[in-house]
Amino acid sequence: MSTFAQAPSPLPPLSQWDVSARDAVADTGLPALEAALRDELQRLCLPRPAWGLPAPDPEMLDVLVIGAGQFGIGAAAALRLNGITNFLVLDRAEPGQEGPWVTYARMPTLRSPKYHPGLCFGVPALTFQSWYRAAHGEAAWHGLYKIPNAVWHGYISWVRDVLALPVRSRSEAVDLQPRTDHVEVVLADGARLRARRVVIANGRAGAGGWAKIPGVSEDLWPDLAAHTAEEIDFAALKGKRIAVIGTGSSAWDNAATALETGARSVDMFARRKVVPQLNKGRASSGIAFLDGWIELSDAQRWELAWYMESMGAPPPHETILRTARLEGFATHFDCGAIRAERRDGQVAIETEKGPSGDFDFLILGSGFCIDLSRDPLYATILEDITLWEDRYAPPAGLEKPAMGRQPYIGPHFELIGKGAQPLDRIYMCNASTFVSAGTMTSDVPSLDVAPARLATGIVKALFAEDFDRYFERLQDWEEEHEMKPTPFYAPEYVNKTAR
């Protein structure tokens, strides 16, 4: 049952979260904000009264959310505010380590401006701005440029705690097994959970893992290479020559981190001729693109996705300046094909058109790919998932096979089955929805939009599935005899038509 389900009710105490500036927070800031939040939620009649019917099986969840990062917490918050209480959030990380912000995201700040509302759902006291001003003060807010990673993580943790969202840590889902009326979710420890609906909100890495580069030998791992999304012992790279392949944000951030922690030198290799110059994501993050993309024709959606993919996204200029000013950094663009292999205990880099050489360690900054076949979580259902290549053949010049392997989802992010087994009980709230829905389920600007759309779809589905039981309850309902205080009370017509 939601902490807010029977308003007015007290907010639970805020759990501890790790933000470097926490000790400087005024004691009255967050308590005052939480009092304002209670008031705003009561005025908005939120969370809505719990409306779910008792499950015949008490161990059956209405919704299971996989992932407790920003979209997992967003999905859970939207469910709670919409009166769904029988749900659980899983995350494989240790408590306080959810998402990338305090683990492998090695940039000092988000690339998003500070004014995005965050996980607010139209409630002012839930916005990032309200939380930051309460936690760090007005002067800090006005002086804030972009949001530090740990601060953003602290905000997400606060939303989780203040809404009393149920999160189970150290729990990794490894298989999805659809049944007639639910989905059975197998965990890494062998446990099984059953839920009528499953939301997969496991971030960019949960749509296929990190992208491989042809020519980069896999036998370099783990002693001579790591991907930017992996744990890296930068202290062990002190005094060493590092190669970085890639020119995306994570490549630059890891190059900077290596040099800042004592690497002798970093050489960055890229097939691109130049760094992408424009962040088209800025122009496509407004509400029209966010809500409208998924409503476009298949041809329009494909063309948009193809264009965005082809343009690429530049690293923030702060990231490049951070790296370029460091001594020992060199870039090599337009290298053509790049090979990296193990040779005499080192990483031998060979390029088609650029320089070659031997290095002590390789950091692969290839970003993430969308390929569900690479994630064991989807193994059981993979052959039944409708992909874009099953629905749409692009015109000449707009082919991109990798985009064709993305799932073709429904209007509320539900999977569409192509076999006898329906998959619409499973909702994709991660980066795999890009061709279908743009950046709705992957970027900060959509956090106040996508979870609400998802929750609406789940509310509709649960209501339709239990319609007969709801209709029966409606017919039996007679808690308020409206006419009893009047001269027109006719008990014999209670719960009967008066025509």
- Tens digits of pLDDT across the chain (499 residues): 333 333 333 333 333 333 333 333 344 699 999 999 999 999 999 999 999 998 889 899 999 999 999 999 999 999 999 999 999 999 999 999 998 888 888 888 888 889 999 999 999 999 999 999 999 999 999 999 999 999 999 999 999 999 999 999 999 999 999 999 999 999 999 999 999 999 999 988 777 778 888 999 999 999 999 999 999 999 999 999 999 999 999 999 999 999 999 999 999 999 999 999 998 888 888 899 999 999 999 999 999 999 999 998 899 999 999 999 999 999 999 999 999 999 999 999 999 999 999 999 999 998 888 899 999 999 999 999 999 999 999 999 999 999 999 999 999 999 999 977 789 999 999 999 999 999 999 889 999 999 999 999 999 999 999 999 999 999 999 989 999 999 999 999 998 886 7
Express each pLDDT in 153-195 by its tens digit.
Answer: 999 999 999 999 999 999 999 999 999 999 999 999 999 999 9
348 and 235 share a domain?
yes
Domain assignment present for 428:
no
Domain assignment present for 111:
yes
232 and 337 share a domain?
yes
Express each pLDDT in 51-66 by its tens digit.
Answer: 999 888 989 999 999 9
Q: What is the CATH number of the domain that holds 223?
A: 3.50.50.60
Work out how many domains the chain is built from and give that number.
2
Structure token pair of residue 407? 């799932």
Can you give the pLDDT at residue 212?
86
Q: Residue 241: phi, psi to the nearest 5?
A: -90, 125
The pTM of this model reads: 0.91
Percent of the residues in the chain that have a pLDDT greater than 90, as a whole number: 81
Q: Residue 264: phi, psi to the nearest 5?
A: -65, -45
Whole-angstrom Cα distance, residue 427 to residue 462? 13
Whole-angstrom Cα distance, residue 85 to residue 87? 6
* Chain Cα centroid distance, residue 352: 37
Structure token pair of residue 339? 């090979």
Residues 6+ apart with CB under 8 A from 297: none
Domain assignment present for 117:
yes
What are the DSSP calls for 252-316, one per residue? Answer: HHHHHHHHHTT-SEEEEE-SSSS-----HHHHT-SHHHHHHGGGS-HHHHHHHHHHHHHH--PPP
114 and 229 share a domain?
no
Domain assignment present for 483:
no
Beta bridge partners of 88: 64
Whole-angstrom Cα distance, residue 31 to residue 14? 9
Residues 6+ apart with CB under 8 A from 112: 146, 147, 443, 444, 445
Whole-angstrom Cα distance, residue 263 to residue 283? 37
Q: The domain containing residue 88 runs over which residues?
A: 22-203+442-464
